[in-house]
Chain A
Amino acid sequence: MQNIYEVQSANKRKSAFILIVFLLFTTVVIYVLAQAFAFYFGYEPGGVGFIGLAFVVSGLMSFGSYWYSDKIVLAISSARPADRKSEFDFYTVSENLAIGTGIPKPKLYVIEDSAPNAFATGRDPEHAVICATTGLLQKLNRTELEGVLAHELSHIKNYDIRLMSVVSVLVGTIALMADWFLRISWRGGRGKDRDRGQLGVLFLILGLVFAILSPIIAQLIQLAISRRREFTADAGSVAITRQAQGLITALEKISSDHEALEAANKATAHLYIINPFKEKGRGAIDWFSGLFNTHPPIEERLHALHKMA
């Protein structure tokens, strides 16, 4: 038996730790690549200019998906608005949980798909959307639905969509800088003067190593953040509903269902309550592929929930 408040603060600490690691990593990578750029072109501001450019390009690419996250995702998933009469439990449970957490009721949408799943999106609680499949609404009872929707509501309340957008802008910045650096160094360079000094050579080599490795490392940290936020949302669900059993049986039901969700694709996968592409695997391969997952393994989530129950 774990106290839910302890679990929540433990999750907050771990989340903060990963984020600090991520920010430190980003700073170091950007610094090294900027220095490498500067030495490569032989003048100082070159590096800063490239950071700025990469940041702006990456920001522009992510801004649309952040600002219009609700509209884009709904259009991709071809969802329709939920109706109080025909989706009574979905509608009223969301309404009630919104009362209980003190945030406005999110807009509710339904995807016609028999695979049970649900996701939340939107840049802030005022523009939040919760989307559920018809399969989820049919297969879960009211208590289980309460667990799932409380999980989604905690994502909204914790501003997870905003957090993941900021993280993906930074990951994009690193990827762009690394890509540009590899391109120019591949071409052999146009610097005629070879006397850059030892420090310059060091930064060029480091830059090359960082350009190759850092995009993948940044992405792995991004996925680790995503998995940590899932644990946090599970704990948040227990804090809102004051019981873990609803979410436990709901997760068991959803994960034992082997239908693949047709509306999901790689771009929207991280939003769902359970990874819509049901992957199977064991042992070392499982652990390795686990690094690339947006969601923690279902067994680990159930284990954490059982400790709270």
Chain B
Amino acid sequence: MFPILLLVFIGVLAVWLVSTYNFFVSSKARIKAAVQEIGNQLKRQADLIPNLESSAKGYLKHEKGIYKDLTDARSAVASALKSGDVQKMADAGSKLASLIPSLQILVESNPELKASEVVAKLMDELRDTSDKVMFARRLVIDLTADFNVKRVSFPSNLVASIFSFAEQPGLITPTEGEHVTVGEGDLKTPKVKLD
């Protein structure tokens, strides 16, 4: 009886060991693919925006300022894509995404623009493309979190330390800076001026 039990125990242990090891290596590969997906979505964004621009050109011709910003952001994405650095890509992507609110304000404050179907379509597509980049980033965050949680929690941390799997960096975010501290300005009640 005893040898059989021992054999079953060893069998279960082996299955667990293999599947845990496979979890680590496969999620590493998935994280790599998810990072590429961010690049892919940024490329889509960079390709899409010139088309949208040209289709909405007639409506936006009075707004030279935002036009220039859009063009600048787009070339930043293009050069980041060429460099292949994910962090640069993400930075350029968020630069582009930060323009969307001001575009929205521009459209909202201009009834003629707002009524136009072309511009409404432009806004929809812009929101969608920034959503896509955001979700691509989120997948990297989630997959990295899964990997890192398994890496430190018992008993899978034993496998991680045997094969010395390193912590995955995921989306690199500065741990210090304005976004994690509360400044003077943040403590004030926000004032909204409507006129």
Chain A interface residues (CB < 8 Å from chain B): 88, 92-93, 95-97, 99-102, 142, 242
A8 to B98, CA, bound (A): 33
A95 to B129, CA, bound (A): 11
**Chain A minimum-CB-distance residue to B137:** A100
Would A88 and B124 count as touching, CB distance under 8 A?
yes
A99 to B140, CA, bound (A): 10
Q: Which one of A88, A96, A102, A242 lies within 8 Å of B131 (CB-CB)?
A: A96
Would A99 and B124 count as touching, CB distance under 8 A?
no
**Chain B minimum-CB-distance residue to A92:** B128
Within 8 A of A (CB), among B125-147: 127-128, 131-132, 135-136, 138-139, 142-143
Q: Confirm or deny: B37 has a beta carbon within 8 angstroms of a beta carbon on chain A.
A: yes
Would B124 and A102 count as touching, CB distance under 8 A?
no
Would A99 and B135 count as touching, CB distance under 8 A?
yes
Report if A96-B128 is in contact (Cβ < 8 Å); known contacts: A102-B30, A102-B34.
yes
29 contacts across the A-B interface (CB closer than 8 A): A88-B124, A88-B128, A92-B128, A92-B131, A93-B131, A95-B132, A96-B128, A96-B131, A96-B132, A96-B135, A97-B135, A99-B37, A99-B41, A99-B132, A99-B135, A99-B136, A99-B139, A100-B135, A100-B136, A100-B138, A100-B139, A100-B142, A101-B139, A102-B30, A102-B34, A102-B139, A102-B143, A142-B127, A242-B138
How far apart are A118's CB and chain B's nearest CB, in angstroms? 19
In the complex, which residues of chain B have a beta carbon less than 8 angstroms from the beta carbon of A142? 127
A100 to B140, CA, bound (A): 9
Most chain A CB neighbours (cut-off 10 Å) among B128, B135, B139: B135
Chain B interface residues (CB < 8 Å from chain A): 30, 34, 37, 41, 124, 127-128, 131-132, 135-136, 138-139, 142-143
**Chain B minimum-CB-distance residue to A101:** B139
**Chain A minimum-CB-distance residue to B145:** A5
- The secondary structure that dominates the A interface is helix
**Chain B minimum-CB-distance residue to A95:** B132
Q: A88-B128, A96-B128, A99-B37 are in contact. List 10 more A-B contacts (CB 8 A).
A: A92-B128, A93-B131, A96-B135, A97-B135, A99-B41, A99-B132, A99-B136, A100-B139, A102-B30, A142-B127
A93 to B135, CA, bound (A): 10
**Chain A minimum-CB-distance residue to B121:** A88
In the complex, which residues of chain B have a beta carbon less than 8 angstroms from the beta carbon of A97? 135
In the complex, which residues of chain A have a beta carbon less than 8 angstroms from the beta carbon of B135? 96-97, 99-100
How far apart are B161's CB and chain A's nearest CB, in angstroms? 23
The 6 closest A-B pairs by CB, nearest first: A100-B135, A99-B135, A92-B128, A96-B135, A96-B131, A100-B138
In the complex, which residues of chain A have a beta carbon less than 8 angstroms from the beta carbon of B124? 88
A99 to B133, CA, bound (A): 9
A257 to B122, CA, bound (A): 32
A280 to B37, CA, bound (A): 47
How far apart are A85's CB and chain B's nearest CB, in angstroms? 10
How far apart are B128's CB and chain A's nearest CB, in angstroms? 5
A97 to B131, CA, bound (A): 9
How far apart are A285's CB and chain B's nearest CB, in angstroms? 43
In the complex, which residues of chain A have a beta carbon less than 8 angstroms from the beta carbon of B139? 99-102
In the complex, which residues of chain B have a beta carbon less than 8 angstroms from the beta carbon of A96? 128, 131-132, 135
**Chain B minimum-CB-distance residue to A102:** B139
In the complex, which residues of chain B have a beta carbon less than 8 angstroms from the beta carbon of A88? 124, 128
How far apart are B113's CB and chain A's nearest CB, in angstroms? 19
How far apart are B93's CB and chain A's nearest CB, in angstroms? 14
How far apart are B55's CB and chain A's nearest CB, in angstroms? 14
A101 to B136, CA, bound (A): 9
A92 to B127, CA, bound (A): 10
A92 to B124, CA, bound (A): 10
**Chain B minimum-CB-distance residue to A97:** B135
In the complex, which residues of chain A have a beta carbon less than 8 angstroms from the beta carbon of B136? 99-100
In the complex, which residues of chain B have a beta carbon less than 8 angstroms from the beta carbon of A93? 131
**Chain A minimum-CB-distance residue to B138:** A100
How far apart are B151's CB and chain A's nearest CB, in angstroms? 16
How far apart are B84's CB and chain A's nearest CB, in angstroms? 20
How far apart are A52's CB and chain B's nearest CB, in angstroms? 26
In the complex, which residues of chain B have a beta carbon less than 8 angstroms from the beta carbon of A100? 135-136, 138-139, 142
How far apart are B173's CB and chain A's nearest CB, in angstroms? 15
**Chain A minimum-CB-distance residue to B38:** A99
How far apart are B170's CB and chain A's nearest CB, in angstroms? 14
Most chain B CB neighbours (cut-off 10 Å) among A95, A97, A102, A242: A102
Most chain B CB neighbours (cut-off 10 Å) among A88, A93, A99, A101: A99
Most chain B CB neighbours (cut-off 10 Å) among A92, A93, A95, A242: A92
How far apart are A219's CB and chain B's nearest CB, in angstroms? 34
